[in-house]
Structure formats: C-alpha cells, structure tokens
Amino acid sequence: MPELPEVESIKNSLKPNITGKIIKDIDILSSKNFVGNKKDVIGNKITSVYRYGKVLVFKLEKLDKLYNYLNIHFKLSGQMLYAKNINNAIFENPIPFTGGNKMPANTTRVIIKFTDNSAIFFNDLRKFGWIKISKQPLIPKGIDVLDKRFTPILIKLLTHKTRRPVKVLLMDQDLITGIGNIYANDSLYLAGIHPQRKSNSLNESEIKKLHKAIIEEIKKGVKDKGSSGADEAFILPDGSRGNHQRSFLVYQRDGKLCKKCKTIIKKVPTLPLVILNFPLVILNFPLVILNKVKDLATKRSVKYY
C-alpha cells in the first residue's frame, strides 16, 4: 500500500505535468473505483495538486470560480500513470500487474483525459482504491506526519492511556496519518522499540526517539521516491520505480541478519488491521484523547503538502 512517501512522490511527479490543465473527459471503466458525477468536473482546470496523509487531492476551478476536488486513495494496489499523449501511452518499463508497458491495461479503472491530449491512468488490481469528487477535500482525520503539529507531545498524548500495541497505534489513520507497515516497522526498529510494546509503556525518552525515527524514515522515503518492494506494486507516474526498498531496515527482511546485532530478524504477528474498525472502548482507548486529536485535525489552519 502506498504510504506517505509514495503518495508524496506521486504528487511531486504529477504536479508539474498536470497543474493548469483542463479536464476534457473521464472514462470510468470500473464504477467501484469512481464516486461522483463526472460531468461536475469536465471542463474544470486543475489549479493545485497536494497530499494529506495517504490521500492525493486535485483542486479544480470551474468557470464560476467555484471549486471541486478530485480525491484519490490508492489503498493496497492503486497506481497512477501519466502520458503526454493518450494515443501513445507506452512506458519504458513493464507496469506491474498489467501484463505490459502500454496504457490502458487490464487493471486500468479510470482514465482522466485533458484537452491537450495528455491523460492520467488510474490502475488498481484489487479495486480497493478510489477517486471521489467532492466540494471540500476529503482529508483523513489524523495528523499528517509532516505536519508541524506532529510532535513528541502529540505522541505522548496518544500513547499514555492506551494499551494498544504501539505499531497498531501508529498505523491508525484517525490519529496519525501517513504511516503504514513499511515506515511503522522501520521507525520502531530505528527507535529500538518492539512493535508489540503497549503504547502506555513508552517513557518520555522513547517517545522522543520514536518521533525522531518516524520523521527520519519518512523523509528518507520521500528522498528515495518511495518504496517498490518485493512485488514492485508501487510505481511513479512515469513508470519508474522507487528506491527506498534498498534501505529497508527490517521490513521485508524476515530471516535476514539484523544490521545492528547481526542476529536473524524474525517476523512477529500483530493485531489484524480489521480491529481498527472496532469501537474504541474495545481497544481501551479514551474518547477524550481522540476528541483532542480530532480538534487538532479539524482546525481551519490544516496545511496540505
């Protein structure tokens, strides 16, 4: 699943190529992956491209100076490819899960066409990803990891009264947004914290180390243009791969030697992600804490990236 660095890298690649372009049409090849009436955005101009958490947002301007938004979530297997010429959308490298290097492919679900004959192809093998039209950006509830409000104090606020495993807490997008398996694993390793540790067992020193490790790993991931792991599902809009998989510390290194102590890395089970959908009382997580985080996340001063 694309995490913050992967979505940031997609944004950085797309932004100079599509900002200012006008949407000519949208081909919806899978209604499961598109929500909204495409007529609402045809003729709209893309005025900005930004990211919050794992969500990519296109801000669109209509002739009447009102705005629409296209919100994109890649979920597990979403891809976004850009071609200057829709009639010659051929990429240098084979695109994972498509069976070739030409678009559209068998996994292409949505095609956004522009008036200059360029296009964006949204691929999704599993059909979990989505593109949604809205009047306001559909940003996650949690605090973005690169937001200045993501501080050791926030982590302390989130952890000090819950027994949830710290890895599970870090991946809860209603609290902190942008972190998934890759960067949770490697950040915890870098901070010297076991992923199954109860969140409320962390002391102040460990919280500071964890905050520093998260920022460091996320920024490294962005610098490396994301991670194309063992399945190479993640690709950039030009069809190239990310490079951060070369720097994995423990993610996808089960059975290999630890880079610190040279012992064998062993994968341990964590709670299934489905548990994140259970009522908070089951997780022993005080609602007052969540409300404080929601207050932070819903302030009008939210910064996009």
pLDDT tier at 285, thresholds 50, 70, 90: very low
Q: How far apart are CA 287 and CA 273, in angstroms?
A: 20
pLDDT tier at 268, thresholds 50, 70, 90: confident
Q: Residue 253 pLDDT > 70, yes or no?
A: yes
The predicted pLDDT at position 167 comes to 97
Q: What is the mean pLDDT of residues 127-133?
A: 98
Kindly provide the residue ranges of all beta strands, DSSP E only, lying in the chain, ordered along the sequence: 23-28, 34-35, 45-52, 55-61, 67-73, 78-83, 90-95, 100-102, 108-114, 119-124, 130-134, 143-144, 176-177
Q: Residue 286 pLDDT > 80, yes or no?
A: no
The predicted pLDDT at position 217 comes to 98
106 exposed, middle or buried (CB, 10 Å; 0-12, 13-18, 19+)? exposed
The predicted pLDDT at position 66 comes to 80
Share of the chain above pLDDT 90, in %: 80
Instruction: Specify the CATH number of the domain 4-134.
Output: 3.20.190.10
The predicted pLDDT at position 269 comes to 75
The predicted pLDDT at position 235 comes to 95
Instruction: Specify the CATH number of the domain 143-297.
Output: 1.10.8.50
Q: Residue 304 pLDDT > 70, yes or no?
A: no
Q: Which of 28-37, 43-52, 224-233, 254-263 has the lowest mean pLDDT?
A: 224-233
pLDDT tier at 159, thresholds 50, 70, 90: very high
The predicted pLDDT at position 99 comes to 87
Q: Residue 49 pLDDT > 70, yes or no?
A: yes
SS3 140: coil
Q: Residue 284 pLDDT > 70, yes or no?
A: no
Going from N- to C-terminal start, the domains of the chain cover 4-134, 143-297
The predicted pLDDT at position 1 comes to 79
Q: Is the pTM of this model over 0.85?
A: yes
Distances (CA, A) of 247 to 47, 54, 107, 219, 231: 35, 21, 29, 12, 16
Q: Residue 189 pLDDT > 80, yes or no?
A: yes
The predicted pLDDT at position 275 comes to 34
Q: Residue 120 pLDDT > 60, yes or no?
A: yes
Q: Residue 59 pLDDT > 60, yes or no?
A: yes
Share of the chain above pLDDT 70, in %: 88
